[in-house]
Amino acid sequence: MTLPVTMTIAGALALVSLWLATRVSAMRMNSGITDGDGGDKRMQARVRAHANLTEYAPVVLILLALLELAGQPATWLWAAGALFVLGRLAHPLGLDRPAPNPLRAGGILVTWGVTLVLAVWTLAVAYTHVGVAA
pTM assigned to the model:
0.91
Mean pLDDT by 10 residues, the chain (134 residues): 96 98 94 88 93 97 97 97 98 91 96 98 89 51
- CATH 3.40.190.80 assigned to domain 4-128? The reply is no
Give me the pLDDT at residue 130, please. 63
First to last CA, the chain: 17
Give me the pLDDT at residue 131, please. 57
> How many angstroms separate the CA atoms of 128 and 126, rounded?
6
CA dihedral 77, 13, 116, 24 (to 10 degrees): -160
Give me the pLDDT at residue 132, please. 52
Strands (E), the chain: none
Give me the pLDDT at residue 134, please. 47
